[in-house]
Amino acid sequence: MAKIPGPPPLEGLKRRIAKHRAETSARARDHFVRETYRMGLLEARAKAREWFDEYPKAAYWTEVESWRQLEGDEIEFTMRRLPSAD
């Protein structure tokens, strides 16, 4: 008599879900506003400059949180700032 297999082990899936929830909740707790853009190099520089002009680093902790160069001189980057200054 053949044994009917039980459900597949879910430990890997459980770990991935727990990791995702931890990362998401950590981001939600830090209270930063983030926006991700994907554009050409010159446009990306202009957009970053726009953020720094509108939200000065000293007051809003504005920064380019991450960036990467894609094919065709395209840049994907995430800007981060506090929602308001004191």
- Those residues whose C-beta lies under 8 Å from the C-beta of residue 57, and which sit 6 or more positions away, are 63
DSSP state of 72: T
Q: What is the pTM of this model?
A: 0.65
Write the CA distances from 69 to 10, 44, 52, integer angstroms: 36, 11, 21
Q: What is the pLDDT of residue 22?
A: 76
- Model pLDDT for residues 22-76, shown as the tens digit of each residue: 776 666 667 899 999 999 999 999 999 999 999 999 999 999 999 999 998 899 9
- Would you state the pLDDT for residue 23? 74
